[in-house]
Structure 1
Amino acid sequence: MSEERLDDDAKLLASIGYKQELSRRMSAFSNFAISFSIICILAGGISAFPSALGAGGGASIGLGWLVGACFAGLVAAGMAQIASAYPTAGGLYHWGSILGGKGFGWTAAWFNLLGLVFVTASVNFGVYDPFFKSLFLPALGVDTSSFGFWHQTLFIAGVTLSQALLNHLGIRLTTRLTDLSGYLIFVVAISLIISLLIFSPVPLDFGRLFTLTNFTGMEGSAWPQHDSVIVVFLLGLLLTIYTITGFDASAHTAEETKNAAANVPKGIMNAVFWSALFGYIMVCTFILVMPNLTDGVKQGLGFLDALLGSVPPWLKLVLATGILVCNYLCGLACVTSASRMTYAFARDGGLPFSNSLKQVHDTHKTPVNAIWTAAVAAIIATLYGDAFLVLATGCAVLLYISYIMPTAAGIWAEGRTWTHKGPFNLGALSKVIAVLATLGGLVLVWVGVQPPNDKVLYLIVALGLVLLALWWGLGVRNSFQGPPSLNKTMR
């Protein structure tokens, strides 16, 4: 990449009001890989699979995944167009502020930041269980039945702090690992699919994928009893919501990506497309090789261990190791994304202790205080006992709220205050896609706040909105200036 291109990136960033401080080393593939690593079909596609199976059975997979992926794709397309125009770290915060005003952007920032903390926590919770405790160690013959709270807490803390250290040491090291993750997810997912199909104990019945069976209220199902077929089908979308999320990481690392205006939207769209495609093949395979769907519901998170019981022990260990490593690298990418959002928001004075959180290391050129703060916050979020379902649904709800806020604001701003677009331009379809993305995102948010998650998530969202409103009204609206571009002529 030429110095001229690097200068162009720095000039574009300066026109938005920021100085190039972070190290711009990420290629187009690296930008794709970090979002692809966070989406990680081997994380959410496995850990959230029981939530879909326990809703509408095979149809929640064969049809539900496709519907959810279409919704996610629309949201991603709306985000990608805005990211192409404003390629900055902490993108959703800037977009919301530029398109909807600083108060709107400030609120979007808090939803996004909390969602990123929750997604880091949920991924690393999943690294522990089911992937380390219930899959990897048993494949080695280790009995984990006596493992308790402190095993869980110390393991998750160790994993998260190690990911923070890798981020601390520089974007080059982190990029190399997330690049590896991009390739490894493909290899492990394909190997898992082929292995399960080869050693399947049952004949493949593709009709399962389109047969809706109401498993809500049954033993092992995450959902209470529902009689409405439509509601049951929509509940199954949680699998896709949780899996295909986190693609805002491409935007959060925009200031570390070369030719960001073109490569960031490509990273977002490619990560969603390839995750949707390979994820669909993988989750459909789970349904096809499962001896009995009712038993699969009862097995919960143990369903994959049961499916791998038909493959040779050595192969099970290889696959378990690959899945564990992919999930660790997924958590690494989550820490990267959360810390860049923290840094970007603090840079404009949007967080407590902003002067400290916006500091960039002189040598490593990474936002070190933001990295460690995001990591510690994620660890704290996992201390709530068996928190996975709450963390998973919470991150999906919070992130999708933050995703659709700038997209919705863009519907009104486009052609008025928003006249500049980047290389990725939806053209005449722009407002249509924005409206569909907003509606689709709202459907996904509605799914996330259904029982049994409703009380906790409503409390988080409602309490959060009340606290934000009080904080804003008690003086932040006067001291917080928002992104520098708000005080300049719109580009």
Structure 2
Amino acid sequence: MAGSTRNRSVAEEPVTSVLPGGDVPYDPSHDLDADDELLASLGYKSEFKREFGLFTTFCVSFAVLGLLPSFASTLFYGMGYAGTAGMTWGWIIAMVGIQCVAMSMAELCSSMPTSGGLYYASAVLAPPGWGPFAAWITGWSNWLGQVTAAPSVDYGVAAMILAAASIKNPDYVPTSYQTFLLTVFLMLIHGVMSSFPTKWLAQINSGGSTFNFIALVIVIILIPAGTDRADRGLPKFAPSSEVWGTIYQGTSFPAGVSVLMSFIGVIWTMSGYDSPFHLAEECSNANIASPRAIVLTSATGGLFGWFLQVVVAYTVVNIDEVLESDLGQPFAAYLMQCMPQKMTLAILALTIIAGFAMGQGCMIAASRVTFAYARDDCFPGSRYWKQVNQTTLTPVNAVWFNCVIGILLLFLIFGGDLAIGALFSIGAIAAFIAFTTPIFIRVFFVGNRFRAGPWNLGRASIPIGVVASTFVALMVPILCLPSVTGKDLTSDLMNWTCLVYGAPMLGAIIWWFVSARKWFKGPKVNIEHMMLGRQGNVVEGAELKGVESYSEAPEVDSSKQKAGLEEKPTELQ
């Protein structure tokens, strides 16, 4: 490496890396800009075009969040477990914990802006000897949450389409077989669309997210303005004392537990804010834009989601009839209670289109997670799933791998409403465990030794991380509870989350102890290392050996870190 340029050290970069504190790795294929240099200091070469910015990243994330279709798909849980009280003040309580998780995740994203961020963070921050196992658990849990997202969203969209057909023709009753086929068709469409080039995906998701937001605002305004409760002999809005003060006993548990159980709707609805993390390698100015997109998504979603909850809570007529309607879709049944038919169909149409855009965003985010984990050989056949298509420059194989898995999961439709409902519970619990594992390690094992990126929480980091960890520790067992107990609990009323989530996770743990612990060492380096003065020392695609856990690393000098951040990227020769 001839030349007089000073070479940047990994220790000077505003990142938390698995690499030792030597010079930033050198990628001979192209010059490194600021984003590529950060990624190289994390041990990865740049393989995607960085055609996402703050707004387009937020658009994908907000599309994945899909407030309107998410709310419509999970109304059974939010309204059915605790009624309007759970939907109003219950949402506010849940959002405190969720926002703490989002902010803590954003801090990790700024420090480790890579597609496999949560998994990468667990590996780096874990105590000595535990990094690979922490990465393994985080990775598999995150992947389960991601791979169930698109099929659960598309199932909700299919159910709404068929419910609209039932509203138009009351003699038509949708069958499980028809719901399955329509959902598979939507999955295949999203698989094709997710295989497009990055630039196309950014444009499509910008349009989808914009429509999601506009549709949400329209529905929030349209429902209170167009409700015909008065024509049915009811007050235009339910009294506040009833909306805020009456807890609907939709479970066999005490009222407080029922409210906590209703949080599944909030958690699943708000679970898309991690998408900017997984798109970090396709985002410019990633260590600032991506964490900002995470927090912006969570805050915007929490606020507008609450407005939607309040509107529905004040206009619902009969909760029992909503839950037991022959339409098979609670949101459609709710609209029929308080809206004229034409307006009901118009709102359903908006929700269906928004849901379609949401499913597309979920498919994209899941494919990036699969690519990132396959890059480190986490899956059987990883050499296929980590390939980047040379025409589109996107992980097309990973898209179709997830699509096939999602279609197989849709056979749960034939097990009844509670069986397919496990997809929603899995999405909530799997995502929460993956989100919080690195946060928990960072708070309780690393503490103030954590090297924060340019976007950070400062002194509030530890307290916010503690709240996030406590909230998740409370909610994980709650999400596994059945709605009934005792002699009323039968196989068709059982909460199958423990089985559908627990079985693959147990399999992953057994695989770890039997085999994976011998060969899986956590994140792999896939960029050439050519250190100054050691040009002959090239390590490519091998896992790091002998790197100490970050949890035992000395505290970083903040002034030196700041100086390293403010320097211009080195021009490597």
The one of 161, 164, 170 equivalent to 1:132 is 161
Relative to structure 1, the CA distance from residue 375 to residue 118 in structure 2 (aligned partners, 3 Å threshold; closer, same or farther) is same
Between the two proteins, the alignment pairs up a number of residues equal to: 476
In the TM superposition, what is the alpha-carbon distance from 1:230 to its structure 2 partner? Answer: 1.6
User: How far, CA to CA, are the matches of 2:257 and 2:106 in structure 1?
Assistant: 30
In the TM superposition, what is the alpha-carbon distance from 1:402 to its structure 2 partner? Answer: 0.8
Relative to structure 1, the CA distance from residue 422 to residue 212 in structure 2 (aligned partners, 3 Å threshold; closer, same or farther) is same
Amino acid at match of 1:211: G
Question: In structure 2, the residue corresponding to 1:287 is in which secondary structure?
Answer: helix
Task: List aligned pairs for 1:86-105, cutoff 5 A.
Answer: 86-100=112-126, 101-105=131-135
User: How far, CA to CA, are the matches of 1:189 and 1:308 in structure 2?
Assistant: 18
User: How far, CA to CA, are the matches of 1:414 and 1:398 in structure 2?
Assistant: 24
Question: In structure 2, the residue corresponding to 1:63 is in which secondary structure?
Answer: helix
Task: State the partner residue of 1:153.
Answer: 180
Residue 412 (structure 2) pairs with residue 412 (structure 1): no
Task: State the partner residue of 2:376.
Answer: 348
User: How far, CA to CA, are the matches of 1:5 and 1:87 in structure 2?
Assistant: 19
Question: In structure 2, the residue corresponding to 1:288 is in which secondary structure?
Answer: helix
User: How far, CA to CA, are the matches of 1:145 and 1:18 in structure 2?
Assistant: 54
Residue 329 (structure 2) pairs with residue 285 (structure 1): no
Task: State the partner residue of 1:110.
Answer: 140
User: How far, CA to CA, are the matches of 2:334 and 2:99 in structure 1?
Assistant: 32
The Cα offsets for residues 225-268 of structure 1, whole Å up to 9 and x where unpaired, read as 22x22212212212211111122111111111111100111111
Amino acid at match of 2:480: V
Do the aligned partners of 1:6 and 1:258 also contact (CA within 8 Å) in 2? Answer: no
The one of 380, 402, 405 equivalent to 1:377 is 405
User: How far, CA to CA, are the matches of 1:336 and 1:392 in structure 2?
Assistant: 18
Task: List aligned pairs for 1:213-292, cutoff 5 A.
Answer: 213-216=247-250, 223=251, 225-226=252-253, 228-292=254-318
Task: State the partner residue of 1:220.
Answer: none
User: How far, CA to CA, are the matches of 1:290 and 1:445 in structure 2?
Assistant: 29
The Cα offsets for residues 296-343 of structure 1, whole Å up to 9 and x where unpaired, read as 444473343442565455444332222111101111111111111110
User: How far, CA to CA, are the matches of 2:442 and 2:72 in structure 1?
Assistant: 34
User: How far, CA to CA, are the matches of 1:454 and 1:443 in structure 2?
Assistant: 20
The one of 231, 236, 244 equivalent to 1:210 is 244
Question: In structure 2, the residue corresponding to 1:247 is in which secondary structure?
Answer: helix
Question: In structure 2, the residue corresponding to 1:484 is in which secondary structure?
Answer: coil
In the TM superposition, what is the alpha-carbon distance from 1:291 to its structure 2 partner? Answer: 2.6
- TM-score, normalised via structure 1 length: 0.91
Name the one with the larger helix percent. Answer: 1
The Cα offsets for residues 31-56 of structure 1, whole Å up to 9 and x where unpaired, read as 11112111111122122122122222
Who wins on radius of gyration, i.e. which is larger?
A: 2
User: How far, CA to CA, are the matches of 1:305 and 1:146 in structure 2?
Assistant: 14
Do the aligned partners of 2:386 and 2:395 also contact (CA within 8 Å) in 1? Answer: yes
Do the aligned partners of 1:89 and 1:253 also contact (CA within 8 Å) in 2? Answer: yes
In the TM superposition, what is the alpha-carbon distance from 1:455 to its structure 2 partner? Answer: 5.2
User: How far, CA to CA, are the matches of 1:149 and 1:296 in structure 2?
Assistant: 19
In the TM superposition, what is the alpha-carbon distance from 1:212 to its structure 2 partner? Answer: 2.8
User: How far, CA to CA, are the matches of 1:114 and 1:369 in structure 2?
Assistant: 17
User: How far, CA to CA, are the matches of 2:53 and 2:83 in structure 1?
Assistant: 41
Residue 490 (structure 2) pairs with residue 459 (structure 1): no
Amino acid at match of 2:70: G
Greater Cα offset, 87-96 or 178-187 = 178-187
The Cα offsets for residues 360-418 of structure 1, whole Å up to 9 and x where unpaired, read as 011211001101001111111111123431111111011111111111011134357x5
Q: Which runs of 4+ in 1 moved over 6 A?
A: none
In the TM superposition, what is the alpha-carbon distance from 1:181 to its structure 2 partner? Answer: 2.1
Greater Cα offset, 205-214 or 404-413 = 205-214
Do the aligned partners of 1:168 and 1:367 also contact (CA within 8 Å) in 2? Answer: yes
Question: In structure 1, the residue corresponding to 2:377 is in which secondary structure?
Answer: coil
Do the aligned partners of 1:208 and 1:287 also contact (CA within 8 Å) in 2? Answer: no
Amino acid at match of 1:482: G
User: How far, CA to CA, are the matches of 1:293 and 1:463 in structure 2?
Assistant: 34
User: How far, CA to CA, are the matches of 2:396 and 2:518 in structure 1?
Assistant: 28
In the TM superposition, what is the alpha-carbon distance from 1:281 to its structure 2 partner? Answer: 0.7
Flag structure 2 segments of 5+ consecutive residues without an equivalent. 1-29, 230-234, 484-492, 526-542, 551-555, 557-573
RMSD of the TM alignment (CA)? 2.3
In the TM superposition, what is the alpha-carbon distance from 1:134 to its structure 2 partner? Answer: 0.7
User: How far, CA to CA, are the matches of 2:292 and 2:67 in structure 1?
Assistant: 19
In the TM superposition, what is the alpha-carbon distance from 1:295 to its structure 2 partner? Answer: 3.7
In the TM superposition, what is the alpha-carbon distance from 1:465 to its structure 2 partner? Answer: 3.9
Relative to structure 1, the CA distance from residue 415 to residue 235 in structure 2 (aligned partners, 3 Å threshold; closer, same or farther) is closer
Do the aligned partners of 1:134 and 1:144 also contact (CA within 8 Å) in 2? Answer: no
The one of 140, 147, 151 equivalent to 1:121 is 151
User: How far, CA to CA, are the matches of 2:319 and 2:190 in structure 1?
Assistant: 37
Flag structure 1 segments of 5+ consecutive residues without an equivalent. 217-222
Residue 441 (structure 2) pairs with residue 441 (structure 1): no
Do the aligned partners of 1:287 and 1:293 also contact (CA within 8 Å) in 2? Answer: no
The Cα offsets for residues 439-464 of structure 1, whole Å up to 9 and x where unpaired, read as 11122222211115865222234433
Percent identity over paired residues: 26
User: How far, CA to CA, are the matches of 2:516 and 2:389 in structure 1?
Assistant: 28
Do the aligned partners of 1:62 and 1:210 also contact (CA within 8 Å) in 2? Answer: yes
Do the aligned partners of 1:241 and 1:444 also contact (CA within 8 Å) in 2? Answer: no
The Cα offsets for residues 88-130 of structure 1, whole Å up to 9 and x where unpaired, read as 012111111111211111111000101111122211110111x
Greater Cα offset, 173-182 or 99-108 = 173-182
User: How far, CA to CA, are the matches of 1:237 and 1:159 in structure 2?
Assistant: 28
- TM-score, normalised via structure 2 length: 0.79
